[in-house]
Amino acid sequence: MLVTVRLFARLREIAGAAEVPVEVPGGATVGDAWTALALRHPELQAYASSVSCAVNEEYARLTAPLNDGDEVAFLPPVSGG
Amino acid sequence: MPQRLRVSPARFRVSGDPLDAAEVAAAVAASHDGAIVTFIGLVRNHNAGRHVQFLEYEAFAPLAVKSFARIADEAAGRWPSVTLAIHHRTGRLQIGEASVAIAAASPHRADAFAASRYAIERIKQITPIWKHEHFDGGEVWIEGATADPEDEAARAAALERACS
């Protein structure tokens, strides 16, 4: 199935795109989508322990299951304010 | 003559428009309140020993707005009389410009002060917004907290700062 991954800040720069389609097998989790993306862009691996995520514009866990067409956002550590 | 309706501005907002302290305060003003605390966060000309030229703010706007509503709900759990409004700016900001505006309204000032402090601490912990700092000699993405709204230790730390 196909999910759309959105990337922000340094993660966006590493991947060279704000939005990336990622193919994952049925039953995949958010963490699986991250792993697939990090294989394409090894520099992302530096964020493996600090990244957080959202699915369809709600905070989620890396263990959350994905559905076809979901929008997954990966968030590097935040610095608003 | 028909009665003039007063349309309240949105309480939670992320946009590229300049921030207006009066507007964020107006979003929470109510006749039963005795105090409104407004907090304005500004772009500073120095950070970590670097001379800052300007900042660029990037946001995941829909989730950032939801994070503001969530922070207001959390604050209402601790200070039930407080109403919060939070506006955050994105894009390129010059030194001295306002990046965030928070208003906390309450019948009594102590709760308004505490809730506004809690809000800025929580924004820095969980809101998906990032600073791209351009300084003399380079640029860097500022990376603070891993955004996890369910991290109870982080929430407790924000409450502790708000109440100290």
Domain at A67, CATH number: 3.10.20.30
Domain ranges of chain B: 12-163
Tokens 């907090």 correspond to: B39
| Residue at A70 is within a domain | yes
User: Which residues, numbered 7 to 26 in chain A, qualify as contacts with chain B under a Cβ-Cβ cut-off of 8 Å?
Assistant: 8-10, 12-13
**CATH 3.90.1170.40 for domain B12-163:** yes
Contact B130 A58 (CB under 8 A): no
ipTM surpasses 0.90: yes
How many other C-beta atoms lie within 10 A of the C-beta of residue B84? 29
Nearest of B29, B21, B25, B15 to residue B57 by alpha carbon:
B15
pTM: 0.95
| Residue at A80 is within a domain | no
Q: How many domains does chain A have?
A: 1
**What six digits make up the tokens of B40?**
């304005």
Contact B63 A51 (CB under 8 A): no
| Residue at A24 is within a domain | yes
User: Where does residue B46 rank: exposed (0-12), middle (13-18), buried (19+ CB within 10 A)?
Assistant: exposed
| Residue at A58 is within a domain | yes
| Residue at A81 is within a domain | no
Query: Whole domain around residue A15: which residue ranges?
Result: 2-75
Instruction: Name the closest residue on chain A to residue B131, using Cα atoms.
Output: A79
Reported as a single tens digit per residue, the pLDDT across B114-162 is 999 999 999 999 999 999 999 999 999 999 999 999 999 999 999 999 9
Cβ within 8 Å of residue B95, ≥6 positions away: B43, B44, B45, B52, B53, B54
Reported as a single tens digit per residue, the pLDDT across A49-76 is 999 999 999 999 999 999 999 999 999 9
Reported as a single tens digit per residue, the pLDDT across A23-34 is 999 999 999 999
